[in-house]
Amino acid sequence: MSNGVDYDLNRNTVLLGISDRPEYLTRIYDRKLGIVYSRFKALTLINHALMLNGFTIDGQRKAMDYNYPKMNKLPVVISPFFTFVMIPTHSPSHPNCVWVNMAFCRNIKTHKSHSIIKLSNGKAIELPISRNALVKQIEKGALCLILQQKSFNTYMVMALQKQGHRMPRKGRIIKVRYIKPKDFN
């Protein structure tokens, strides 16, 4: 944990919700740690995770507004390399907004007007969002992820070409050889 934040988001973070304890602002469900509480708002924790990966929440909003001007309740791509995307159930400024890690939205059941996500460890989490709305948010998250991965790949190709590397023509397969690093004892 760094820069004063008491919890670092990671790929085990399932969701960020409203705390039921008055001294904390955010209730975090972590797949390995269970329920953890934070004194920071969910958006602060998300922005901190973005900054650690070289992004800002405002930059992501501007990029998505530029590409998709009508999109509301924007998902946030924490890391395009690890497909780590947080999806809001409501508008981020809404007091009951819960942020869900898109990777855990695989087994979704419906219960009245809520959705229930079943995790791999057998636990179930109820979310204040309908199944259809959650599926639309997952689609938006996938769209945001694809956009960021595409722009990153384009940037990497341009950087490699600038350094003098020749890129293969379309349709050619690149053979990559993995070199095992030596142990430094």
Q: Give per-residue pLDDT as tens, 159-179.
A: 666 666 665 555 555 554 544
Distances (CA, A) of 135 to 12, 42, 99: 21, 22, 14
CA distance 140 to 180: 38
The verdict on residue 178 lying in a domain is no
Q: Which of 10, 24, 29 is nearest to 127 (CA)?
A: 29
Distances (CA, A) of 136 to 20, 25, 88: 28, 27, 11
Q: Say whether 148 sits in a helix, a strand or coil.
A: helix
Residue 184 pLDDT exceeds 50: no
The verdict on residue 65 lying in a domain is yes
Please check whether residue 47 is in contact with residue 11, taking contact to mean a CB–CB distance below 8 angstroms: no
Residue 73 region by backbone torsions, left for phi larger than 0, else alpha for psi between -120 and 50, else beta: left
Please check whether residue 43 is in contact with residue 9, taking contact to mean a CB–CB distance below 8 angstroms: no
For residue 45, give its domain range.
Answer: 13-102+131-162
Please check whether residue 126 is in contact with residue 43, taking contact to mean a CB–CB distance below 8 angstroms: no
The verdict on residue 123 lying in a domain is no
Task: Summarize the confidence of residues 23-34 as an average pLDDT.
Answer: 92
Amino acid 38: pLDDT: 94
Task: Summarize the confidence of residues 101-121 as an average pLDDT.
Answer: 84
11-34 burial, b if ≥16 CB within 10 A, otherwise e?
Answer: eebbbbbebeeeebbbbbbebeee
Please check whether residue 111 is in contact with residue 102, taking contact to mean a CB–CB distance below 8 angstroms: no
Across-strand partners of 136?
A: none
The verdict on residue 24 lying in a domain is yes
Amino acid 27: pLDDT: 94
Mean pLDDT score of the chain: 81
The verdict on residue 113 lying in a domain is no
- The DSSP bridge pattern shows strands 26-30 and 108-111 to be unpaired
Please state the domain count of the chain.
1
Residue 125 pLDDT exceeds 90: no
User: Within a 10 A sphere around the Cβ of 175, how many other Cβ atoms?
Assistant: 6
Distance of CA 102 to the CA centre of its chain: 7
Q: pLDDT digits over 31-86, tens only?
A: 889 899 999 999 999 999 989 888 888 888 888 888 878 888 889 988 877 788 99
**What are 3's two structure tokens?**
């820069």
